[in-house]
Amino acid sequence: MDAASPIPPRRLLGILNLRIQLQVLQQRHMVVQALLLRRLQRQRRHKRRWWVKPWIERRMLFGQYETLMREIERESQGDFLNYMRMPPVMFYELLQRITPRIQKSERYRRPLEPGLKLAITIRYIVTGNSYKNLQYSFRVAHNTISMFIPEVCQAIIDEYKEEVFAFPTNPDEWREVAKKYSEKWNFHHTCGALDGKHVAIRNPRPSGTLYYNYKGFFSILLLALVDADYKFIWADVGTQGSSSDAQIFNHGPLRNGLENDTLGLPDPEPLPHDDRPIPYFLVGDDAFPLRSWMMKPYSNRNMTNEERIFNYRLSRARRVVENTFGILAHRWRCMLGTMQQDPDRAKIIVMAAICLHNLTRLRYPGLQNNDLDQEDEAGNNIPGAWRNDRVLQDVEAVGRGNLPNRDGKRIRTYLKHYYNSNVGSLPWQHNMI
């Protein structure tokens, strides 16, 4: 073919396609090179200087668990009690029983020992200090602390819940609860005091106003039934703060069991020195319905002296649940501030604190008595130490849909007359109205 002859169109098109493909390959190569270079730069920029910071590695020399706790355990049992809110014997019982639940196997690094994790968890529940604060005290990274505190709390719940939450299941067990209310608070046939409190948490995003309560902060609710010895019989934790006592109770298993008579409450029996059968019941405030199984005070409007005396007698029984919440938060102070966990983790921590509270009341019933309200010989109330601190906020007392029924009114009226009679009155009760 002559050199001056033109290139055939088909061949020219092929050459152009080859050039285009070559340009595309070159551009892709450049993009890949840029990505590799960026990744290499990022790896260089974020390369760890160390896997564990040197000051954390010196935990065995200067950490509070390895030094301070061991010192005060040897030298001052009272300081250990103040530091951990429990005697050493109780701490080591906890450690022995939950170790199989929180022990980690050694793989790439030596895991934290169970005693250290338990000590940090207890100190968090006791103080409510931030994870950053605990990090510097115990020389454990704050992100590690945030991971194991819920695990340790769940282990405490799983190990002790069945033991310390002795919810009565038959008439004899309920009679034992009512007997203690009669002996200590002179309000007969009482099978528990019921109330609810707010536990403040940070705003769980995105939740809108679900956890925003009428007092102006975000919270989860704690609804609890307690016995005469300030122990929790039953507790519901974690409902959104925008709810009320009545909403939790009305849609919960406790009311269903009371209405359907499946809780095993005793059959009606006469009050002391009386001959008319009266049902066994719970006591609560205005948020709850007036029923044969629930007694609550008279309204504050235009009350007679007899009604005031009934309210006073009822308040002595109801005050037990207020004191229980008070000593719970006074001893386990993480609930007095704003908990920074999400609602699910906050619920686990609160339940663990309740288990520890009940365990303390069972093992050492006199340990927290200085925190409680007391009464002198004349029946005057002496405020407990817990009232000097911040307290858990009451839940809104909304009783919509909880209008009293005829049986509830009839039994309350009978109790009013009984506690104003010669057989049911107390010597000092007229001085309290």
Q: What is the DSSP string of 346-360?
A: HHHHHHHHHHHHHHH
If you search the block for the tokens 């002996």, which residue do you land on?
183
Average pLDDT, stretch 293-311?
A: 92
On the question of pLDDT at 423 being above 80, the answer is: yes
Q: Answer whether 386's CB lies under 8 Å from 371's CB.
A: yes
Highest mean pLDDT among 108-112, 308-312, 373-377: 308-312
Contact between residue 69 and residue 119 where contact means Cβ atoms under 8 Å apart: yes
Domain edges within the chain: 54-164, 171-432
Residue 46 has pLDDT above 70, yes or no: no
Question: What pLDDT digit, counting tens, does each position of 217-234 carry?
Answer: 999 999 999 999 999 999
What is the predicted pLDDT for the residue at 7? Answer: 64
**Can you state the angle between helices 305-331 and 343-363, rounded to 10 degrees?**
100
Average confidence (pLDDT) over 248-266: 91
The arithmetic mean of pLDDT across residues 402-414, rounded, is: 89
Residue 244 reports pLDDT greater than 90: no
pTM of the predicted model, to two decimals?
Answer: 0.84
Kindly provide the residue ranges of all beta strands, DSSP E only, lying in 171-253, ordered along the sequence: 190-200, 219-226, 232-240
Mean pLDDT of the chain: 88
Report how far apart the first and last C-alpha atoms of the chain are (Å, whole number): 126
CA atoms within 13 A on the CB side of 237: 20
- Token output for 111: 């895991």
